[in-house]
Structure 1
Amino acid sequence: MPTEILRPNAAGDYTNIAYQFPVESEHWDKVDEESPDDDTTYVYTPSAVQQKDAYGLQDTVIPGGSEINSVMAYLRIRGLAQPFLRLAGVETEGAKVGNESPNYGATIYAIAIDDT
């Protein structure tokens, strides 16, 4: 089964995570690396209250009308995080993942896409 990796390339519908490092530029360019740069660029919040950013993604090369069986969101986090997937304006939340050391988290979303 073919796979495709899409990375952030633009701001999405909202930017609510309080801080970014370095402060220049946009939040999305802190999370778009093919190879992680760890503490060189990142978004963060000291708040215990959930804050979310949405990011625009690269265009897919999958032809229209193709069947997509699942979408997997990968995270590299320090602390606690919860991924969200937004398709056609509908958000689906993934499982909370994380701890105090840098780690990867992943959520698989089973999806059905109506291409009409």
Structure 2
Amino acid sequence: MQEFSPGEQKIAVVPMTNPTARAFDYVAELYMGAALDLMASVPFHLDAGESKDVRLPVTMPSAAGTYPVNVAVFSEGEFLPPVHEGESVVIAKLPPAKLYIRPNAPGSYTQWLTQYPGSGAHWDKCDDPWDNPDDASTYIQHANEYQVIKRDTYNLESHGAAQGTINYIKVHLRVWNSHVDVYFYAIIVTHGTRYEEPTISGVGGATWRSGSKQWTNNPYTEVAWTWAEIDALQAGIRDLHGVSFCTARCTQ
């Protein structure tokens, strides 16, 4: 069975042949579903003995399911034997689209001690695409402070033309720490309120690691996110060191 998305625009291509010794004008009709709903109708002409593909533009049904397909042809008011019947197509639900929004300005907190390179701002050291972090090329850093919490948050890009229901938001972090006992938290700020969740901890070894934290609903309203809340959202990182001689970095 062929599989399509709800409402998808497709072209059905049906081979037709006129086996007679005279030319005819025809109409091809495509039906889908148990109720034989008419989905497309196209007139065409065949000369004597001519064969060609007839193209019928079809908008797929909006509901998911399996639909039998039939194509009928008639000429001069008479239906001819079915030229296509019995095959089914599957209309599948579209997978949820993912929207990736990156930092584009400072937020409410700029507490991490240093950045690399030294020019620019903290947010532009953490604006890598989620699937292509630049690791040691740009990062913010917090070093040599025992049990001192530091936060950095950033304003984010607009959602642009995206629309529909928001199923969740997820904050991606990519971090490096020189020793164990460093705890990284993902931060969001919404409606002026800060929320923090533990995300990456416990492993040193001076290697880059990734982690993420998801919020299905807005924790302030306790209901689904709105696009206005997405546009006003801040995201960022908090860390806490369990030893005084540790260095922590964040690149995303």
TM-score range, shorter chain: 0.7 to 0.9
Structure 2: state its 5+ residue gaps: 1-95, 178-182, 218-222, 229-252
One-letter amino acid of the counterpart of residue 166, structure 2: I
- Correspondence 1:90 to 2:188: no
Between the aligned partners of 1:27 and 1:104, the Cα distance in structure 2 is 19
Between the aligned partners of 1:28 and 1:52, the Cα distance in structure 2 is 12
CA contact (8 A) 2:125 2:139 kept: yes
Q: Looking at both structures, which has the greater relative contact order when contacts are Cα pairs under 8 Å and sequence separation is at least 6?
A: 1
SS class of match (2:128)? coil
| Aligned match of 2:142 | 45
Between the aligned partners of 2:190 and 2:184, the Cα distance in structure 1 is 20
CA contact (8 A) 1:83 1:94 kept: yes
Between the aligned partners of 2:187 and 2:124, the Cα distance in structure 1 is 18
- Correspondence 1:75 to 2:173: yes
Between the aligned partners of 1:86 and 1:97, the Cα distance in structure 2 is 19
| Aligned match of 1:10 | 105
Structure 1: state its 5+ residue gaps: none
| Aligned match of 1:30 | 125
Decide which of 197, 201, 208 is 1:102's aligned counterpart. 208
Could you state the TM-score of these two structures normalised by the residue count of structure 1?
A: 0.86
Structure 1 residue runs of 4+, over 4 Å off?
A: none
Between the aligned partners of 1:2 and 1:39, the Cα distance in structure 2 is 30
- Higher strand fraction (1 or 2): 2
Moved more, 93-102 or 33-42: 93-102
Deviations 1:81-108 (A, max 9, x none): 1111111212111114132221101111
Q: What do you get for the CA RMSD once the two structures are aligned?
A: 1.7
Shift of residue 73, structure 1, vs aligned partner: 0.6
SS class of match (1:29)? helix
CA contact (8 A) 2:103 2:124 kept: yes
**CA radius of gyration, larger in:** 2
SS class of match (2:124)? helix
How many residues get paired? 113
Moved more, 104-113 or 15-24: 104-113
Shift of residue 109, structure 1, vs aligned partner: 1.2
Between the aligned partners of 1:25 and 1:55, the Cα distance in structure 2 is 14
Between the aligned partners of 2:198 and 2:216, the Cα distance in structure 1 is 13
SS class of match (1:81)? strand
Taking only the aligned residue pairs, the percentage that are identical comes to: 27
One-letter amino acid of the counterpart of residue 75, structure 1: L
